[in-house]
Amino acid sequence: MRLIVADDSLLFREGIERLLAEWGFEVVAQTGETESLLRLVDKYNPDVVILDIRMPPSQTNEGLIAAERIRAQHPAMGIVLLSHHVETHHAARLLAGGAAGIGYLLKDRVVNLEDFREALRRVAAGGSAIDPQLVSLLVGRKTVSDLDALSSRERVVLSLMAEGRSNSSISTAAGVSAKTVEAHIRTIYQKLHLEPGEDDHRRVRAVLSYLQM
């Protein structure tokens, strides 16, 4: 996997690059500025771009704007946004075009190395990796009536689905069998009137579309 890392902290960039190298990933470039990031993306065409939401000069949403530009020009490229805090408006804005190939993780989540590595692989493969705290906030924004149709167990499965987890991962996290997970997912689609599409990641996009309604 070939990656570009964009963050205004040199120490953070160097640490991420060393970590990725240990996993056999290749960091083809790193930068602390969004304008240089866009040039590097065009030059190297990486599999995944890892970038902070808050970048110079204003330290507000330059990273998000850069992610949107990359998304528009390179729709198949994976993007993993990192943030110190969960900001639902930023996440909803990025996910508005679909969740495939998108990650949104808290920087604190990077310390969980296995989860971070799995998230990068999932995004590179066209899946999604959404921080559990963000999923909880998005679910919390729904009114009670929106979720009335779902049982408590189905809500748990829905949240885990929205994180981008596989059925086996949901099975482990929820403490139920794989067959039970499959049954819950079928019921969730029926109750929310969300018909699955044809691609492998249809359920993630459908769930996230539901959460953003």
* Domain count of the fold of the chain: 2
Domain holding 11, by residue range, is 2-131
| Distance of alpha carbon 55 from alpha carbon 47, whole angstroms | 21
Percent of the chain at pLDDT > 70 equals 80
Q: Is residue 137 part of a domain?
A: no
Burial of 158 (0-12, 13-18, 19+ CB in 10 A): buried
Residue with tokens 């190298």: 21
| Distance of alpha carbon 187 from alpha carbon 191, whole angstroms | 6
Q: Is residue 136 part of a domain?
A: no
Q: What is the pLDDT of residues 184-206, one digit of tens each?
A: 988 887 777 666 655 445 566 55
Query: Could you tell me if 116 and 169 lie in one domain?
Result: no
- Quote the pTM value: 0.70
Cβ proximity of 210 and 146 under 8 Å = no
Query: Could you tell me if 21 and 121 lie in one domain?
Result: yes
